[in-house]
Amino acid sequence: MTRRYDPERRGRIIDAAIRVVGAKGIAGLSHRSVAAEADVPLGSTTYHFASLDELLIAALRRSNENFAEVMRECEALTDPAADLAGELAGLLGEYFSGGRGRAELEYELYLAALRRPALRPVAAEWTDGTAELLSRRTDPATARALIALMDGICLQVLLTGGEYDEAYAREMLGRVAG
Amino acid sequence: MTRRYDPERRGRIIDAAIRVVGAKGIAGLSHRSVAAEADVPLGSTTYHFASLDELLIAALRRSNENFAEVMRECEALTDPAADLAGELAGLLGEYFSGGRGRAELEYELYLAALRRPALRPVAAEWTDGTAELLSRRTDPATARALIALMDGICLQVLLTGGEYDEAYAREMLGRVAG
DNA sequence: CAGCGATGCGTACACTCGTACACATGGGAT
DNA sequence: ATCCCATGTGTACGAGTGTACGCATCGCTG
């Protein structure tokens, strides 16, 4: 809003919340744990975010922006000559290459919308935004199905503790893309 | 394992846990809330399930059995003449027809494996079992992809608050099935 | 420069939770 | 018949939580 003594404070609290969720999961997220991680007093977190849901909304939105940037950087996605399925499968490969940590964190925030209606609009923003990005290469319905399949593949890896198989992902994404 | 004064007690606690998760989510699951729902004293829940993870494992396993039974009942899944994609899309239609409650509950238990390694083997059991069932109609890789796509479609419905579109699901499942 | 609202800070309270533990009881083994 | 242990019960404690509230401090506004 207007000026603040510490204009960065709100943002630093969001960053701290993301680190806390990454380290301890949403179950470990509390006003106090965030305050400690951000090195601000307890009252400061409750002032900027009246409820934990508000904080989660901000964290999910930032997480979405991070991923969206990764996809925008992938120029090949807009190149009509490139193999769309292969590009997407490669993207997921990079996504998992840095360990499960990042994927776990971002999916945990995303999946939190299941039980928190307040998060659903933000989750929908991400789905719609990504679908629009992919719509430059296919029709909207196919774009949504590609996202669904990517989500499902990631979940199988994350939930069962398996390994990501890029060739398999490429094959199946290719079938959907047609 | 051997005789108990109340041989049903353990089972009743699991049922109560499922009801609690359905009503308040995993976040609302505690030894006390389960004990109240099952109408047993607090000490009884901590005796049968040393940790909440143990209780979640039992609940997820029971939830899996419920869904597996639904799939077994669907004889068309083994009929080589039937349209596999159409059958699966119809199955999901029934799944959502009774409201979001049941799907929310079962997915919440399933997704809990993301942050609880103890649940991953149980989640993997479900994936493997379903894949095996579907393998009577296609190759194993395609079976897994069908499950992934179904998971992704369900998630899009549940996370964004949208409606389930059976025709769309059938079309996309058909592309994967080939 | 005076005042006022936004922002920041510290503390206290009521509540829930997991856990531990002492004790009761019934059933199967010897 | 006796004993032992799995099972069942009640209570207490310490830790952690959300929330509220009073006070401090800064910056804009008039």
Joined together, the tokens standing for residue B99 give 């409201």
Rounded distance in angstroms from the CA atom of residue B40 to the C1' atom of nucleotide D3: 29
pLDDT one-digit tens code per residue, A116-129: 999 999 999 999 99
A residues 108-137 closer than 8 Å to B (CB): 108, 110-111, 113-115, 117, 120, 123-124, 127
Smallest CA–CA distance, residue A42 to chain B, in Å, is: 22
Query: Looking at the complex, does the CB of residue B144 fall below 8 Å from at least one CB of chain A?
Result: yes
**A152, B103, B111, B149 from B100: Cα distances, Å:** 19, 5, 16, 19
pLDDT one-digit tens code per residue, A13-40: 999 999 999 999 999 999 999 999 999 9
**pLDDT attached to residue A4:** 60
Rounded CA separation A3/A6 (Å) = 8
Is strand C in 7 Å reach of the CB of B138?
no
Across the interface, do A114 and B159 touch by the CB < 8 Å criterion? Answer: yes
A145 and B148 Cβ atoms separated by less than 8 Å: no
Residue with the bigger pLDDT between B141 and A76: it is: B141
DSSP state of A14: H
In degrees and rounded to multiples of 5, residue B41 shows phi and psi of: -70, 160
Rounded CA separation A100/A109 (Å) = 14
Among B20, B24, B26, B151, pick the best mutation site for testing chain A contact (most A Cβ within 10 A): B151
**pLDDT attached to residue B91:** 93
Long-range contacts of B37-46 (CB under 8 A, 24+ apart): B38/B12, B38/B13, B40/B9, B40/B12, B40/B13, B44/B9, B44/B13, B45/B13
**pLDDT attached to residue B162:** 94
B141: exposed, middle or buried (Cβ count in 10 Å: 0-12, 13-18, 19+) = middle
B34: exposed, middle or buried (Cβ count in 10 Å: 0-12, 13-18, 19+) = buried
Amino acid (one-letter) located at A22: G
**Covered bases, chain D (protein CB within 7 Å):** 6-12, 16-22, 26-28
Regions of chain B with pLDDT less than 50: 1-2
Joined together, the tokens standing for residue A97 give 């290459």
Across the interface, do B124 and A162 touch by the CB < 8 Å criterion? Answer: yes
Rounded CA separation B167/B140 (Å) = 24
Across the interface, do A152 and B156 touch by the CB < 8 Å criterion? Answer: no
Rounded CA separation A176/A153 (Å) = 13
Computed over its alpha carbons, how large is the radius of gyration of chain B?
18
Is strand C in 7 Å reach of the CB of B122?
no
Residue with the bigger pLDDT between A70 and A133: it is: A133
**A28, A30, B61, B176 from B148: Cα distances, Å:** 29, 33, 20, 10
Query: Looking at the complex, does the CB of residue A162 fall below 8 Å from at least one CB of chain B?
Result: yes
**pLDDT attached to residue B163:** 96
C-alpha of B17 from chain center: 14
pLDDT one-digit tens code per residue, B89-112: 999 999 999 889 999 999 999 999
Shortest CA to C1' contact from B32: nucleotide:
C17
Percent of chain A whose predicted confidence (pLDDT) is above 70: 97
B71 and B130 Cβ atoms separated by less than 8 Å: yes
Shortest CA to C1' contact from A51: nucleotide:
D18
List the single residue in B with minimal CA-CA distance to A147.
Answer: B152
Joined together, the tokens standing for residue B9 give 């007690």
Quickly state the pLDDT bin for A1 (edges 50, 70, 90). very low
Joined together, the tokens standing for residue A114 give 């299941």
Average pLDDT, rounded, for chain A: 93
| In the block, residue with structure tokens 């099952």 | B38
Rounded CA separation B45/B38 (Å) = 9
Any alpha helices (H) in chain B, and if so which ranges?
9-24, 31-38, 42-48, 52-73, 84-97, 100-111, 120-134, 140-160, 166-177
pLDDT one-digit tens code per residue, A145-172: 999 999 999 999 999 999 999 999 999 9
**pLDDT attached to residue B2:** 45
**pLDDT attached to residue B1:** 45
Predicted confidence (pLDDT) at residue A47 exceeds the cutoff of 50: yes
**pLDDT attached to residue B4:** 60
Average pLDDT, rounded, for chain B: 93
Tallying the residues shown for chain B, one arrives at 178
C-alpha of B69 from chain center: 11
How many angstroms separate the most distant Cα atoms in chain B? 55
Across the interface, do A161 and B108 touch by the CB < 8 Å criterion? Answer: no
